[in-house]
Amino acid sequence: MLKALLLENLHPDAARLLASRGIEVVTRTGALDEDELIEALAGVHIIGIRSKTQLTERVISSASSLAVIGAFCIGTNQIDLQAAANRGIAVFNAPFSNTRSVVEIAISNMISLVRRQPTFDKDMHAGIWNKSAIGAHEVRGKTLGIVGYGNIGTQLSVLAENLGMSVVFYDIAEKLALGNARKAESLDDLLKQADVVTLHVDGRKSNRGIFGEEHFAAMKPGAVFMNLSRGFVVDVDALASALQTGHLSGAAVDVFPTEPKRKGDPFTSPLQGLPNVILSPHTAGSTEEAQEAIGQFVSHKILDYLSTGSTTLSVNLPNLALEQSTGAARIAYLHRNTPGVLARVNNILAEHGENIEGQLLATRGDLGYVVTDIGSSIEPETVAALEAIEQTVRLRVLKGTTR
């Protein structure tokens, strides 16, 4: 029986879907540290995590039974993807399932900050009636600067235009502008124009510390700043300073360089207590609708991989879209991508009298993935011969591949 370990309060649908396929499911709240993970992963074939759990090379190399990792979130920078690929462990994430949730909170935070709602709210709770229009503005007619024009940035761009805003964006990759959005020539160009600057970049290592003191200084006086992407991309001390001096009029931050691992753990930040600042505990994508969609999407990807060998949307293995087997057995063979491997695989199958009914091959960097359907049950001697190929990373024999 396959065993799954699900951490960090994943949506119940994840456990339900995996259990419906006969998989033993163990759920635990919160994240685990390296030593805890190594112990917990003994005999585990599937692990489901969110952003807090760090699957390092040490953890992955110690998990001898692990076959697939499900990141029930957008980012995968908490996983050593190369270490997983080297051991033939597929990684799947949910790149689109909570896009709308992040966009909605970005819109909400932006309007709240421009209208100074956090300040008014704090005053009212303190018993202070401060009815004043000073410093409160409409977003209509303002310019939104989006840094990172991917799935979230583009959808935010469209909705912001519907609010009457002008949109300018900056991305290191060439991106097609939607609606009337304009591409900035540089990040500095964007900062000079934008009344609101919002970050929606990914978790690649090169994005670490990309927004610091010089960038806040380049923003328009009285502008608003938002970071709903990754905590390590922003110098929060520099942000706090820009808010304290009044250069920026407000900020919304959902992600932080260091975040507690478990619900209820203490949290500290230099941004605490500052006026017109919205702080949230990495919940921009955490709506019930988004978590349900993520739980279902990633679980189905895991189940498809285990039953059919399909690696569609895997972030670290060659991608093959597969359905039910056309033969009696299916061989999913991950290998080092060197010349002649496919010929060796087929020669071994021929030598052992196995008839190939269908075959697909994909490569990704130094890895190759060939999936072969054969017309009869595969013999142990054939499996042993395939595993003996020096380029072998992982071989799985799939039978009864019903979705």
Catalytic residues: 230, 259, 282
- Report d(CA 162, CA 174) in Å as an integer: 24
Q: What confidence score (pLDDT) does residue 76 get?
A: 92
Domain range list for the chain: 1-98+287-316, 99-279, 318-403
Give the pair of three-digit tokens for residue 147: 């840094």
One fold for 1-98+287-316 and 318-403? no
Give the pair of three-digit tokens for residue 214: 């010089």
Give the pair of three-digit tokens for residue 256: 């932080």
Using the structure block, give the residue that is written with the tokens 């970071």.
227
pLDDT in tens, the chain (403 residues): 899 999 999 999 999 999 999 999 999 988 999 999 999 999 999 999 998 899 999 999 999 999 999 999 988 989 999 999 999 999 999 988 889 999 999 999 999 999 999 999 999 999 999 999 999 999 999 999 999 999 999 999 999 999 999 999 999 999 999 999 999 999 999 999 999 999 999 888 889 999 999 999 999 999 999 999 999 999 999 999 999 999 999 999 999 999 988 888 899 999 999 999 999 999 998 899 999 999 999 999 999 999 999 999 999 999 999 987 767 899 999 999 999 999 999 999 999 999 999 999 999 999 999 999 998 889 999 999 999 999 999 999 987 443 3
Rg (the chain; Cα; Å): 25
- Report d(CA 349, CA 105) in Å as an integer: 55
Residue 44 half-sphere exposure toward CB, CA atoms < 13 A: 23
Q: What confidence score (pLDDT) does residue 402 get?
A: 37
Using the structure block, give the residue that is written with the tokens 């462990």.
89
Tell the CATH superfamily of the 318-403 domain.
Answer: ACT domain (3.30.70.260)
Q: What kind of architecture, by CATH, is found in domain 99-279?
A: 3-Layer(aba) Sandwich (3.40)
CATH topology of domain 1-98+287-316: Rossmann fold (3.40.50)
- CA nearest neighbour of 285 among 99, 107, 157: 99
- CA nearest neighbour of 311 among 299, 319, 303: 319
Using the structure block, give the residue that is written with the tokens 């056309």.
326
Neighbours of 70 (CB within 10 A): 28
- 137 by Cβ neighbours in 10 Å (0-12 / 13-18 / 19+) ranks as middle
**For residue 331, what are the contacts with CB-CB under 8 A and spacing of at least 6?**
371, 372, 373, 374, 378, 386, 395, 396, 397, 398
Q: What confidence score (pLDDT) does residue 314 get?
A: 97
The pTM assigned to this predicted structure is 0.82
Q: What are the percentages of helix, strand and coil residues in the chain, rounded to 5? A: 35, 20, 45
Q: What confidence score (pLDDT) does residue 323 get?
A: 85
Q: What confidence score (pLDDT) does residue 403 get?
A: 34
